[in-house]
Amino acid sequence: MLNIAIRPASTEDVDTLWTMLMYAAHESSLIAVQTNSDIARYVTGWGRKGDLGVIAEQGATAVGAAWVRLWSEDNRGYGYIADNIPELAIAVAPEVRGRGIGTALLTKILELVQPEFSAICLSTRTDNPALRLYERTGFVRVEGSEVMNRTGGGSLTMLCSFKR
């Protein structure tokens, strides 16, 4: 892995979260994610109750982020399971993928979330290379959750339950 520092995310990191959301959503511009309400909800209003995240930095440059948000039945993320189970968003800058940064981010966010919640969920594309990472870290596919996503491909929900 590169010389990476992982630190807690704050409300000062909104621009970084928007950029990472652009990568996670496979979009080519910030405008595309900021103007799509289904995607933008993952960052809009960052800092509300239940928001928790980490930023990976190489020097002074953010190269990845992982963050969670709580949803409600009437304001749901793609991977929503329940009001008390936060949904994970995670992304690594394309130029540094495959170097362990995603693993480090996921490990850190799981450490932070576990004392507060009984589980964490995520939504991912069925062809995402990170599926193996999610499974290695304890995520399981939620049966019956596979759907066609906004790009015409498949997506599914995964859940990681913590031992209590």
Element (H, E) at 66: strand 61-69
- Separation of alpha carbons 90 and 49, rounded Å: 19
Ordered per-residue pLDDT tens for the chain, 164 residues = 568 999 999 999 999 999 999 999 989 999 999 999 999 999 999 999 999 999 999 999 999 999 999 999 888 898 999 999 999 999 999 999 999 999 999 999 999 999 999 999 999 999 999 999 999 999 999 998 887 887 777 899 999 999 86
Tokens of 142: 């939620």
Structural domains in the chain, CATH included, are: 5-117 (3.40.630.30)
User: Tell me, what amino acid is at 136?
Assistant: R
pLDDT at 84: 96
Residues 6 or more apart whose CB falls under 8 angstroms from that of 159 comprise: 81, 85, 119, 120, 121, 139, 140, 142
Tokens of 138: 């304890």
Q: What three-state secondary structure class fits 119? A: strand
Residues 6 or more apart whose CB falls under 8 angstroms from that of 9 comprise: 16, 17, 52, 53, 54, 55, 65, 67
- Separation of alpha carbons 22 and 5, rounded Å: 22
Expressed in angstroms, the distance from the first to the final Cα of the chain is 31
Model confidence, pTM = 0.92
pLDDT at 146: 83
